[in-house]
Amino acid sequence: MRTAKPRVKANEFDYGIFYAVIFLLAIGVIMIYSASSYYAMFKEGDSMVYLKKQLIWAVTGIIGMGLISRFDYHKLRKITPHLLIVTIPLLIAVFFFPAVNGAKRWIQLGPLSFQPSELTKYVVVMFLAMSLDIKGDGVKKFWTGVVPYLGVSGFFAAMILAEKNLSIAAIIMIVTFIMLFVAGGRIQDLFGKVAPILLVAVMFFIFGEDYRRARMLNFLNPWQDPAGDGYQLIQSFYALGAGGVTGLGLGQSRQKTLYMPEPHNDFIFSIIGEELGLIGCLIIVSIFVFFIWRGIKVALKAKDTYGTLLAIGITSIIAVQAIINIAVVTGSMPVTGVPMPFISYGGTSLVINMLAMGILLNISRQTQGKEI
């Protein structure tokens, strides 16, 4: 009588990351409806129009995350060079479509729109993870191990900057810096040479454009132009201040009644603060901190350097975006268009973020099995 061979059971993915993402997504859907209902009724004649769209994107994202989580992340190596090439014409294509709020960032096809820069930031991470894994200890050499990667990332950041999207361009360069550090780049090179250059570049681009310079000056004192460049930040202060510790209650925001421009987008965190108070804000911050910790843990337990770098890159994108969004809303840095991951309204950003979470979950399936 033959004995059946036991099946090899695949590792389960990191449920901490999974539940953190689902919680943030659920909070986002609820708060998008709360924040947008009045605005949607006034602009679209349907208080649920943004909720319906976000629900479709959320379901699409969850399905995509589930499918990608079962796709071996090592297979991404083969398609990464092709994706890197494809993003170039996509970034160029946005200039053939009408500008939205003075910026050309979207490819519009009927009722659908796609923002290539959202895809590009993850493709750059995939390229860096693949190439730095091959480079190995060569990253310790500044001119051959660091500069080429800054050049590649800088090329895509420059294309995105041409779309008047300094925020995503900055995120790409910040995440590149983080990945070079994790890959083994020398501290004296990264902090002594690269960091100062990046800082000077950011200041140059901020003060090189009139509208960016105005944002910087109004960030320092938004009340000098309360009806213009300082308006949105001032309304954010009013919302956060009115919320206090416990908030006014879900659905009770006053700033969303056409005071805050598009309250369901980049400044949704201020509406959360107004309705759910400091407690609600701290809960969301805590979930992001928990997600970052789990992401780092997955990176440390990954079975190869490629997995470690890929996990660090994906986690860093979410972490940097969340930090920048909260800093902008609270007046800690100049106003810039960075959505809060999983919470702000937006189809391209949400679906692509969810697909990236699928990759992160797949990395967590293939670990060394050691506890950290």
Percent residues over pLDDT 70 in the chain: 94
Q: Is residue 121 part of a domain?
A: yes
pTM here is 0.92
Query: Per-residue pLDDT tens for 302-359?
Result: 989 999 999 999 999 999 999 999 999 998 888 777 899 999 998 889 999 999 999 9
Q: Is residue 6 part of a domain?
A: no
Q: Structurally, how many domains does the chain consist of?
A: 1
Mean of per-residue pLDDT scores for the chain: 89
Given a contact cutoff of 8 angstroms between Cβ atoms, the answer to whether 248 and 280 are in contact is: no
CB atoms within 10 A of CB 70: 12
Expressed in percent and rounded to 5, the helix, strand and coil fractions of the chain are 70, 5, 25
Q: Is residue 162 part of a domain?
A: yes
Mean pLDDT of the 3-7 span? 38
Whole-angstrom Cα distance, residue 157 to residue 170?
7
Q: Is residue 234 part of a domain?
A: yes
Q: Which pLDDT score, from 0 to 100, does residue 219 have?
A: 75
Q: Is residue 10 part of a domain?
A: no
Structural domain of residue 360, as residue ranges? 15-365
**280 band by pLDDT with thresholds 50, 70 and 90:** very high
Residue 100: beta bridge partners? Answer: 103
Question: Which of 362, 203, 312, 197 is CA-nearest to residue 189?
Answer: 197
Q: Is residue 59 part of a domain?
A: yes
Q: CB-side exposure of 296: number of CA atoms within 13 Å?
A: 11
Q: Is residue 203 part of a domain?
A: yes
Q: Is residue 370 part of a domain?
A: no
